[in-house]
Amino acid sequence: MQIALAQINFIIGNFEYNVHRILEAIRKAKKVNADLIVFSELAVTGYPPLDLLEHRRFVEKAIECVHQIARECDDIAAIVGAPSFNPSDSGKVLFNSAYFLCDGKVKSVHHKSLLPTYDIFDEYRYFEPNREFQIIEYKGKKIALTICEDLWDNPPVEYALGRSRLYTVSPMKELLKFHPDFIINISASPFEYNKIEVKKTIFTRYARETRLPLFYVNQVGAHTDLIFDGGSMVISPEGKIVDTLHFFREDFKVYLLEDVMKDTSVDFSFEQDEIEQMHDALVLGIRDYFAKTGLKSAILGLSGGIDSAVATVLAVEALGHEQVKVLLMPSKFSSEHSVTDAVELAKRLNIEYHIVPIQFIVDSFLTTLQPYFDGLPVDVTEENIQARVRGVLLMAMSNKFGHLLLNTSNKSEIAVGYGTLYGDMNGGLSVLGDVYKTNVYRLAQHINRNTELIPINILTKAPSAELRPNQKDSDSLPPYEILDEVLFRYIEQQKSIEEIVSEGFHSEVVERIMRMVNANEYKRFQTPPILKVTSKAFGQGRRMPIVARY
């Protein structure tokens, strides 16, 4: 049996486009005499469709599309993800389903059993969990079909992820009762920079423990803040990775089942390091956000600092230099080298830039406010006016020319509130909001791995907001090397103050950082969508109350 894997970048709710791409892949598979072609989870709708699933016509249209696709499956079978209605009078209205299409019709429908409700996932909001198990019999083979989380119930894997066992049922244990010949898992698993190894562990363990070959098909592409890395895999019964489809781009391959079932000493090795993965994910996230919304061009504030430099390079890689514009907006506190560094980067990237001095605008604000501020000391208010003037200028250019403003704040700053609402926190998409400051430097080094694209002075000078004389980030924050370690433990690992202190950090430092994180939740509620590259990004994956005293 020849099995084709189709790793496609779908668009949520664009049924015409998604069906076209699925039919295109089916016809391609037919030409190479494939017997079965497999697509990702909720391929017809794109994942995640969220509250679109609450619109009955949306689901009906998806099911109509499934039947349209089935008509193409006359001499080939296909497995396609789409929602289906729950016929029962009780439970949720929908199932998250995989349709088995053959002989021009829907032969069977298989539902997802394990519905994740952690991090960014909220599938139980929409779907009823499956409780009845069946296999697919096709061309003399028995297929155990699973959907994404259905293979994430292995206790050793869950414990390695730092969580207790989430589920009381194991779909694979139920399916093994039918003595299948191989496993298929269709998935929409979002990217995290350290998750590729976790996926390898899960799938190789299942293949090895069941002594069955495993075919895993993942979605690729970005949907708003979520990035899907692809990396579909084929694994032998010995638990060795026979092959992996490309990461961060579409791919299509055909495999002979009998070859996969043979013993092999070859184990595929994925050598891309975590910063390279993060880089490629962010470029894909920017590119798809623009492509899928119909936006064409971006604008950024280029300050001469590391964050705006890295964000600008990523935007150019994603969109091309013609579609990226930058404003340099110096004030009286801006150092000369900040302007020259920014100009040098803009020239190296061959992007359009404009220098717009802001001091006279700031002075106008201060003059207007002077009667009300008279006798009061200068403080952060005056600093924030500078940031907000820059925000107004960038948004004016965005409005006038249709550019999307890209936000350049990093995760460390967003975590502790080191940013100005309606100023440097403006934007339609946050490029680095899930990248800690120390990793921003690592991204810059990766960008400069072959040639010095980002001027070296940007990498070596002390970080500064340049909103007051001789200002340095270290005046207000602990060193980033310490700050990021503490933030990672608190945000990603959800450790307590006591646990973090027990690892060797000073209690005063940890308590201060915790206070800053907790006191700035209101700012994070107003940030643009943040491209997710870690296990716990700000936004829909981390839901904290603004009004709380914990």
- Condensed to tens digits (0 to 9), the pLDDT of residues 224-261 reads 999 999 999 999 999 999 999 999 999 999 999 999 98
Q: Which of 287, 312, 537, 513 is nearest to 435 (CA)?
A: 537
Catalytic residue among 65, 73, 102, 112: 112
DSSP 540: T
Q: At residue 265, does pLDDT exceed 50? A: no
On average, the pLDDT of the chain sits at 93
How many CB atoms neighbour CB 525 within 10 A?
A: 11
Residue 156 pLDDT grade (very low, low, confident, very high; cuts 50, 70, 90): very low
Residues with Cβ within 8 Å of 269's Cβ and at least 6 positions away in sequence, in order, are none
Catalytic residue among 65, 73, 102, 148: 148
* Three-state DSSP state, 364: helix
Q: Are 9 and 250 in contact (CB under 8 A)?
A: yes
43: amino acid identity, one letter:
A
Token reading at 335: 């150092």
Residues with Cβ within 8 Å of 523's Cβ and at least 6 positions away in sequence, in order, are 414, 417, 419, 421, 425
Residue 161 pLDDT grade (very low, low, confident, very high; cuts 50, 70, 90): low
Q: Are strands 77-85 and 36-38 parallel, antiparallel or unpaired?
A: parallel
Q: Which of 389, 86, 435 is nearest to 277 (CA)?
A: 435
Q: Are 307 and 409 in contact (CB under 8 A)?
A: yes
Average pLDDT over residues 363-379: 95
226 strand-pairing partners? 223
Task: Pick the more confident residue, 233 or 546.
Answer: 233
Q: Which percentage of the chain shows pLDDT scores above 70?
A: 95
Cα–Cα dist 228/247, whole Å: 9
Q: At residue 470, does pLDDT exceed 80? A: no
Q: At residue 164, does pLDDT exceed 90? A: no
Residue 117 pLDDT grade (very low, low, confident, very high; cuts 50, 70, 90): confident
What's the alpha-carbon Rg for the chain, to the nearest Å? 26
Q: At residue 302, does pLDDT exceed 50? A: yes
30-44, 468-482, 530-544: which has the highest mean pLDDT?
Answer: 30-44
Average pLDDT over residues 292-313: 97
CATH superfamily assigned to domain 294-477+520-524: HUPs (3.40.50.620)
Cα–Cα dist 5/255, whole Å: 8
Q: At residue 343, does pLDDT exceed 50? A: yes
Q: At residue 526, does pLDDT exceed 50? A: yes
Given CATH 3.60.110.10, say whether it is the number of domain 2-271: yes
Token reading at 408: 């350049």
Q: How far is CA 473 from CA 121, 462, 467, in A?
A: 35, 8, 11
Residues with Cβ within 8 Å of 290's Cβ and at least 6 positions away in sequence, in order, are 296, 298, 318, 319, 404
Tracing tokens 């293979």 back to the chain, one arrives at: 151
Name the pTM for this structure: 0.94
152-161, 214-223, 454-463: which has the highest mean pLDDT?
Answer: 214-223
Is 72 tagged catalytic? no
Is 41 tagged catalytic? yes
Average pLDDT over residues 277-302: 97
Q: How far is CA 28 from CA 6, 185, 291, 435, in A?
A: 10, 21, 25, 39
Residue 181 pLDDT grade (very low, low, confident, very high; cuts 50, 70, 90): very high
Average pLDDT over residues 32-52: 97
- Quote the pLDDT of residue 23: 98
152: amino acid identity, one letter:
W
Task: Pick the more confident residue, 331 or 73.
Answer: 73
- Quote the pLDDT of residue 162: 53
Average pLDDT over residues 137-153: 94
How many CB atoms neighbour CB 162 within 10 A?
A: 10
Q: At residue 124, does pLDDT exceed 70? A: yes
Of 149-163, 199-213, 219-233, 531-545, the poorest mean pLDDT is in 149-163
Domains 2-271 and 294-477+520-524 share a fold: no
Please report, for the chain, the start and end positions of each structural domain, with discontinuous segments joined by +.
Answer: 2-271, 294-477+520-524
Q: At residue 465, does pLDDT exceed 70? A: no
- Quote the pLDDT of residue 160: 47
535: amino acid identity, one letter:
S
